[in-house]
Amino acid sequence: MAGITFKNVVKTYDNGVTVVPDLNLEIKDKEFVVLVGPSGCGKSTTLRMIAGLESITDGELYIGDKLMNAVAPKNRNIAMVFQNYALYPHLSVYKNMTFALELAKVPKDEMKKKVQWAAEILGLEPYLDRKPKALSGGQRQRVALGRAMVRDPEVFLLDEPLSNLDAKLRTEMRSQISKLHKRLGTTFVYVTHDQTEAMTMGDRICVMKDGIIQQFDTPQNLYDHPCNLFVAGFIGSPQMNFVDATVEKADGGYALCFGAARIVVDRPELAEYEGKMVVFGIRPEDLHAEPAFFGKGNVIDAYIDLDEMMGSESYLYLNYADQKLIARVPARYAKRAEENISLAVDAEKIHIFDKDTEKAI
Amino acid sequence: MDKKPSHARTVIAYIVLIILTFLCLFFFYILIVNATRSHPEIQKGFSFIPGHSLMKNLRSVLNDANIPVLSGIKNSLIVSSLSAILATYFSALTAYGLYAYDFKLKKPAFVFIMLILVMPTQVSAMGFINLITKMGMLNTLYPLFLPSIAAPAVFYFMYSYMQSSLPLELVEAARIDGSNEFHTFNRVVIPIMKPALAVQAIFAFVSSWNNYFIPALVISENNKKTLPILIAALRSADFLKFDMGKVYMLITIAIVPIIIVYIALSKYIVAGVALGGVKE
């Protein structure tokens, strides 16, 4: 078992494009780390560098305490699950799973035992003689996982493994992979662009953009304390509302002013922003329609452009002082489109960002 | 729906197909019929009815000391089979090299191979003969199959087929699984390439079987000759001994393996026409 350490790692392609300018990252042993970010953010490249499928231009990569820069993929003791499964189409499920073991000259009975063990966990026993062509997407994905499991690797690498599955199967496989991680007690590195997958599966999440790590923290911390505008907007669905507001001095702290609203917050660090514009962010669920919240003030009256009824709750797409907002309110307090609604802003849950640096204040 | 026009179209299509089939098969029929007729019978003009000289023709072909037919068949089989194997395996290997790896001279290498593709064999024939003479390969079978290793047309077919059917993720998966590059090629790539290999093997076999130009330049010893040279030798034989029945018989013998190959593998040949160009 092993952790993974990136020290000032740079990846520049032959055409001169640098996708990862300077990566420092420490993944602990047995941890489930999710690399997440929009397309082209360098997350897959990072994973492929761990696998040894991409060369490292500069810097050092360690798995455990061994320097891996020049080590071939087969000698890194890793297993990888690909987005398109990458099962050998001409081999049966059994042969797919034993491919690596045969190369490692594992004795036949041991090989059989290992496959049986993996097949049992993944529910693949009835399919061992089938070719990948005769399996469904979910089954193929499980074979890909099984192929990785039997090798007993130090590190599991998963490159968007669920993106080819339908929504229901994705949810199912998500929990299966999480369970597998707990059961195997191995380091997992998982790449996805889906923030739901990241939030539900990762012990820690590494949010990347343009090859740079924006924030590397637990899911709860990312959600509650995003370090900048990008992370705040990327994590959470529907995404956080961002509004330009002016900082003014007020009784008991500073007030964020936009439209007719004046939201008073007790944040002394706003002193240097007095009279300046900041970006203020509020999550949709922190705009409350329940009357119980109205007592504290900070109530805005917004016009509903569109409402989406989700059953227990309702998403309201609002227009307030020419700014677009989304509120997530319990269905019984929601109103319909083209009506006005009063919403209380939970001042304690407000996020404030510097307008220029986009960093959290 | 008005069915009449489509009915008429079917009839026309069938007529055209029947004519085409006739044009294709008629000559084979004449060839086989003539192989059963004696020289005087053939000189009288053609007939649809087979003659009675099948065995006589066969015997005179097999017993002619100047025309070693059996060794010709053996030589042709050796040369064609090896050509087919070498052309397909090494072209697939080259195509794989250019498809799966990134290196600096990748594009120039591809262009270079494509340039060889447009070069006619005749242009390089003199140089080729000089080369094999210096290498001491004149009058051996090696020069007939060794050059098949470099088959640009087969390479191009393999390359297009890989683009459509060989995801690089598979190669990467094999690398991570601990497979070295040659093992990956032989155990993962080759099985996936099977349909393309089959088609190109057939084409390479047939074109080598029919090849006259290079064997005629390289081979002068009788027992090294391949079938096309033997047929030519028979046709240009002494006028007094000239026997048309014997010529037809030899040609019939020469085309039998090809017919067998085509009939047995017609499924692959039809599929092969559509292969390669299609990208998913």
Of A14, A51, A83, the CB nearest to B176: A51
Do residues A224 and A217 make contact, with C-beta atoms less than 8 angstroms apart?
no
The answer to whether the CB of A229 falls within 8 A of the CB of A358 is yes
pLDDT of B277 reads 41
Question: In percent, how much of chain A has pLDDT > 90?
Answer: 54
Helix (H) or strand (E) holding B201: helix B190-210
Query: Which residues of chain A neighbour B176 with C-beta distances below 8 Å?
Result: 51-53, 73-74, 78-80, 100
pLDDT tens for A174-211 read 998 999 899 888 999 999 998 889 999 999 999 999 99
User: How confident is the prediction for chain A on average, in pLDDT?
Assistant: 90
- Inter-chain CB proximity B191 and A72 less than 8 Å: no
List chain B residues with CB under 8 Å of A14.
102
Map tokens 């609604």 to a residue.
A341
Contacts for A250 with CB less than 8 Å, ≥ 6 apart: A262, A264
Are the beta carbons of B178 and A14 separated by less than 8 Å?
no
Angle B10-B15-B21 (CA atoms, 0-180°, nearest 5)?
Answer: 120
Going by pLDDT thresholds of 50, 70 and 90, the confidence category of residue A2 is confident
With a pLDDT cut of 70, the percent of chain A lying above it is 100
User: Which contiguous run of DSSP H or E holds residue A102?
Assistant: helix A93-103
The pLDDT confidence band at residue A251, using thresholds 50, 70 and 90, is confident
Of A289, A294, A278, which Cα lies nearest the Cα of A350?
A278
- Cβ–Cβ gap B170/A90 under 8 Å: no
Which 3-state string (H, E, C) describes chain B? Answer: CCCHHHHHHHHHHHHHHHHHHHHHHHHHHHHHHHHCCCHHHHHCCCCCCCCCCHHHHHHHHHHCCCCCHHHHHHHHHHHHHHHHHHHHHHHHHHHHHHHHCCCCCHHHHHHHHHHHHCCCHHHHHHHHHHHHHHCCCCCCCHHHHHHHHCCHHHHHHHHHHHHHHCCHHHHHHHHHCCCCHHHHHHHHHHHHHHHHHHHHHHHHHHHHHHCCHHHHHHCCCHHHCCHHHHHHHHHCCCHHHCCHHHHHHHHHHHHHHHHHHHHHHHHHHHHHHHCCCCCC
Q: What 3-state class would DSSP assign to B54?
A: helix
pTM for the full model? Answer: 0.81
Kindly give the pairing relationship between strand A241-250 and strand A212-217: unpaired
Q: Does B173 sit within 8 Å of A82, measured CB to CB?
A: yes
Q: How far is A45 from chain B (nearest CA, A)?
A: 14
CB B279 within 8 A of CB B164: yes
Is beta strand A4-12 parallel, antiparallel or unpaired with respect to A58-63?
antiparallel
Domain ranges of chain B: 4-52, 61-274
Q: How many CB pairs under 8 A join A and B?
A: 57
B161: nearest Cα among B216, B198, B186 = B198
* In chain A, residues 172-231 whose CB comes closer than 8 Å to chain B: none
Q: Name all domains of chain A by residue range, CATH numbers in brackets.
A: 4-234 (3.40.50.300), 238-284+347-361 (2.40.50.100), 299-344 (2.40.50.140)
Q: What is the ipTM of this complex?
A: 0.82
Give me the residue label for tokens 């053939």. B42
Peptide bond into A153 cis (omega under 30): no
Pairing of strands A287-288, A277-282: unpaired
Identify the architecture of domain B61-274 in CATH.
Orthogonal Bundle (1.10)
* List of chain B residues with pLDDT < 70: 1-5, 237-240, 272-280
